[in-house]
Amino acid sequence: MKKGFFIISLIVLSLLSFNVSAQSKAKFGHIDFAKLYADMPGQDSIKAVFEKFTQDLQETFSEMTNEYQTKLQDYQSNMATMSNLIRQNKEREIMDIQTRMENFRTQAEEELQEKEAELTAPIIEKAREAVKAVAKEHGYTYIFNSSEGLLLYSDPGDDIMSLVKKKLGID
């Protein structure tokens, strides 16, 4: 019984010492990923495409707004002379335009989010791959994103921004 306990104790101690030695080899680094993303080439073209997309949506919404205002003004100025049937028809038209405008606004917001994700995804992926490559090349076990505000202290020597920028060819 004592011999079995002794063997189990040896196994547990050896596992614990292995775990401690594995932890002491961990190497941590950090990078301000938001700054890296902002410094990546291609931002100007993404911004231009996104602004054009936004402008097109705004123009369409503006046309809908003008149509709504025109029909509403027509309704208000001629309401006294309209029959009940025409008045109800005009009210329905105005409400339909309001519904279309609300639907368009919701869909436009969704499309803007999708377009932004579509445009930024390749750059974000390229930056992530560069961070991974630098981490592997320099033996880092973990890289933290310091732009998230979760990193309370870091040794400036462990900031891999310059290494990643060099990898990406960014000045």
Q: What is the pLDDT of residues 142-163, one digit of tens each?
A: 998 888 776 666 676 688 888 8
Q: What is the pLDDT of residues 65-107, one digit of tens each?
A: 999 999 999 999 999 999 999 999 999 999 999 999 999 999 9
**CA distance readout (Å), 12 to 1, 19, 21, 98:** 17, 11, 14, 71
CA nearest 59: which of 48, 51, 71?
Answer: 51
For residues 101 and 122, what is the distance between their CA atoms, to the nearest angstrom? Answer: 33
pLDDT at 154: 66
Q: Is the pTM of this model over 0.75?
A: no
29 by DSSP, 3-state: which?
Answer: strand
Nearest 5°: the CA angle 126, 131, 137 is 125
Tokens for 62, please give them.
């503006």
For residues 51 and 44, what is the distance between their CA atoms, to the nearest angstrom? Answer: 10
CA nearest 120: which of 109, 131, 112?
Answer: 112
